[in-house]
């Protein structure tokens, strides 16, 4: 039996899109302030539901997403038992 670990509550966008059965582009659009409300993104960051990292001088954000954020955005995962 798989025991839930704290780290299992956080994932990359690639894993999140697979687990929820959505395209990576759909998820990336959710993380863009121009598509989602900037306030929603800021609030989720402050709550610790999502975070990103940008290397000094870099442009691309590397995101980490919580399962709670995914439930709020997309409901139940579609591929729950496949990981």
Where are the domains positioned within the chain? 6-74
* Structure confidence at residue 35 (pLDDT): 63
For residue 50, give the nearest of 72, 35, 34 by alpha carbon. 72
What is the average pLDDT score of the chain? 90
Q: How far apart are CA 30 and CA 36, in angstroms?
A: 6
Q: How far apart are CA 26 and CA 46, in angstroms?
A: 22
* Structure confidence at residue 68 (pLDDT): 97
- What mean pLDDT comes out for the span 65-78? 96
């Amino acid at each position: 039996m798989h025991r839930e670990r704290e780290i299992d509550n956080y994932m990359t966008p690639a894993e999140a899109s697979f687990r929820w059965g959505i395209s990576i582009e759909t998820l990336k659009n959710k993380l863009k302030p121009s598509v989602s409300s900037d306030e929603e993104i800021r609030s989720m960051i402050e709550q610790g539901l999502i975070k990103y990292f940008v290397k000094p001088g870099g442009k691309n954000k590397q995101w980490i997403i919580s399962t709670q954020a995914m439930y709020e955005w997309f409901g139940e995962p579609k591929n729950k038992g496949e990981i």
